Amino acid sequence: MSYRRAWLLVDAMNRMFDKPVVVASMGGSHGGGAQVTDFGRRLVETYRNVEKRFSDEANTAFSEFRKHYQPGRDDD
């Protein structure tokens, strides 16, 4: 992912919420940088927890189909 794309995504996330997800500081003698806020950390943690629960549920729901799965057979 390009630097520009990453910053566009950060900007989009920051505009979605009334609290910042990431804060940036301008460069200078000590250089610039970016920090994920406490709100942003909680957002990512919640997202990952939901993603894990969904993945576990999907694996359980589709378990009976695994024995029938044949990768590469979808070629036309």
Domain ranges in the chain?
3-63
Q: Which residues contact 17 (CB under 8 A, 6 or more apart)?
A: 39, 43
* pLDDT tens-digit readout, 39-56: 999 999 999 999 999 999
Whether the per-residue pLDDT at 31 is higher than 90: the answer is: no
Contact indicator for 36, 47 with CB cutoff of 8 Å: no
Whether the per-residue pLDDT at 65 is higher than 80: the answer is: yes
What confidence tier does 76 reach under pLDDT thresholds 50, 70, 90? Answer: low
Over the chain, what is the mean pLDDT? Answer: 91
60 token code pair: 């359980």
